[in-house]
Amino acid sequence: MKIGFIGLGIMGAPMATHLIDAGYVLYANTQGEFPASLREKGATVLDSAREVAAAADIVFIMVPDTPQVHDVLFAANGVCEASLAGKIIVDMSSISPIETKEFAAKVRTLGAQYLDAPVSGGEVGAKAATLTIMVGGESSAFDRVKPLFALMGKNITHVGENGAGQTCKVANQIIVALTIEAVAEALLFAAKAGANPAKVREALMGGFAASRILEVHGERMIKRTFAPGFRIGLHQKDIRLALDGARALGVSLPHTASVAQMMNACVAQDGANWDHSALIKVLEAASNFSLDPVQS
């Protein structure tokens, strides 16, 4: 089986690496610099998405947002300019569920199957092959691609039809954003009250408040390690998708709207490329108190 991969950024590069390490022939294209490690492992570098789709049986896409997926699929030299009969297109980006359904319908008219398979777990999960993968699309396509998903992730769920994977990812991003904000509030409160935030975090990890976000992002907040595993600018985009969907559905998401404003404030402070755990900086500014000088 020949595999195509389009988009070799902070997430795509390690994901593609797991596939080539498993012995698959890999054809790839990316907008940025092609990772030297993949080239050394034997990946074939191609000049366009169309060439990748022509060469591969299954094509993975991992790019930042809905417009980029649209261009990969439908722009000049895009995937859909190749003959797609019998192929599977797998979009692992996090994009609009509504437009995903439209993309899938167009791809199916060209004889291919389409899966939307966004992921959660960030750069750490991509490198460790422990991503959570949420999949929408036909069962037959899912069954064919699942062994490849298993090389990139651990928790792999076929959620439903096309668009269901993206809807699940939006729900995931709501929970993650609100939990990061809650952890930030808790640690800021504890530190301002005179408690050691590292010890508070340690204690909370043994109780009902324990979470992966408290474990990983709480540590980032305390240690001030805001180099991105997942950029605020990307999470801001996901929350925008949530609020756009809520508006279309007539659903009230008041706290999601609030955290969106906090992300906007981070971006206004040139923080689009901060890790999303840096959301705490907005609360610190509002409280005129920072964990930064706290001995932990």
pTM for the full predicted model: 0.90
296 pLDDT higher than 80: no
Q: Quickly count helices (H) and strands (E) in the chain.
A: 13, 9
Residue 58: which of 115, 97, 120 has the closest Cα? 115
Radius of gyration of the chain (CA): 20
Q: What percent of the chain has pLDDT over 70?
A: 99
Per-residue pLDDT tens digits for 30-40? 998 999 999 99
Q: How large is the average pLDDT for residues 99-104?
A: 97
295 pLDDT higher than 90: no
Max CA distance (Å), the chain: 65
Task: Note if 154 is an active site residue.
Answer: no
List the catalytic residue out of 169, 223, 237, 281. 169
CA 269 to CA 289: how far, in whole Å?
17
Per-residue pLDDT tens digits for 221-271? 999 999 988 899 999 999 999 999 999 999 999 999 999 999 999 999 999
What's the CA angle centered on 264, arms 261 and 266, to 5 degrees?
115
